[in-house]
Amino acid sequence: MTNSAMMIQEYVKEYQLPQEGVEHEWLPFQDTFLSVQLFCQQQKETNTTTILFIHGLFDHTGTNAPFIKHLLDKGYQVAAFDLPGHGLSGGERFQISSFQEYQSALQTVMGKLKDWGVSNMHAVGHSTGGAVLAEYVLTNTSSSPFQKVGLISPLIRSNQWWISKSFTPIISLFRKQLPRKFRMNAGNKEFMQKIKNDPLQGKIISLEWVQAMFEWEKQLTQHHPVDKDILIIQGTNDQTVDWKHNMKAYAALFPNSKRLLVDEGNHHLINEKMEKRSLVYQLLTEYFRK
């Protein structure tokens, strides 16, 4: 077994991801690589629907293992990749100069999925992953392969937006990064403890990334609205994104979207306590099956 295969085997075991029927690829991307995984059904059937999942800032595929298992249990295949600088993917950790890098990464992964013969697709994005997915749909209105799209706690503006916009340019003159504050992003205390102890989670936030977010937000909100009937699920206790503003902004971008609020739900809705997590899973599953 090669060192690469051993690393993947250890990763899958450590984060309790499905170990059978998994395809992995180190996909060349710019001057580095992306970690891409396809979790297949044990009994393969023709035209099995594949759900592409895109994680949020600091996270990676393993962070969302319970959600991936749920989708497999419901009969779907799941494709997932680590964003540049996240998880097992290469690149400077949690730092980009432009959100366009995320779009380029997604386009690269889509090409690989086509090579794997994946065609019948839905997609789900959480937080930054939701933002990446939303932009992809807005800019590929006629060519997007996704039949259904779910956005969970999607980013447009972060929490305390105007404070960040006011002080980040000043702080950036003296510092390139700040310590990450681990908020209670899920009511699931066990999950939050795992996040804090996860060696693949970031401990700092790049101010260059924050500046890139400011530029991206300005560009995204200038897109023409798209009629696609996407599903947006948002928790009312979210302290990571400015969810009230974001829901209005996404309503303008996707006027046919279905927007649902989870009472007292935190940012990491798909890793919440079982009651709220099950609700989110159910809402997504019902949406995909319509």
Partners of 285 in beta bridges: none
Q: How many domains does the chain divide into?
A: 1
> Of 128, 108, 149, which Cα lies nearest the Cα of 63?
128
Q: What does the pLDDT read at residue 185?
A: 66
pLDDT of residue 179: 87
pLDDT of residue 50: 96
pTM of the model: 0.95
Q: CA 238, CA 15: separation in Å to the nearest integer?
A: 25
**26 with 4: CB under 8 angstroms?**
yes
Q: What is the pLDDT of residue 1?
A: 53
How far is the C-alpha of 157 from the C-alpha of 38, rounded, in Å? Answer: 31
Q: How far apart are CA 290 and CA 288, in angstroms?
A: 6
Domain that holds residue 45: 3-289
Nearest to 19 by CA among 9, 28, 27: 9
pLDDT number for residue 44: 66
What is residue 46's predicted lDDT score, i.e. its pLDDT? 62
In the prediction, which pLDDT does 172 show? 87
Q: Which residues in the chain land under pLDDT 70?
A: 1-3, 43-46, 184-186
The 10s digit of each residue's pLDDT in 219-245 is 999 999 999 999 999 999 999 999 999
Please list the residues that pair with 171 across neighbouring strands.
none
Dist. CA 253–CA 162, nearest whole Å: 22
Burial (CB < 10 A; 0-12, 13-18, 19+), residue 36, is buried
Instruction: Write the CATH number for 169.
Output: 3.40.50.1820
Task: Show the beta-strand stretches assigned E in the chain.
Answer: 22-29, 32-39, 50-54, 77-81, 121-126, 146-152, 177-179, 204-206, 231-235, 258-262
d(CA 132, CA 280): 20
Q: What gap in Å lies between CA 71 and CA 150, rounded to an integer? A: 13
The pLDDT score that the predictor gives to residue 144 is 86
Phi, psi for 27 (deg, rounded to 5)? -95, 120
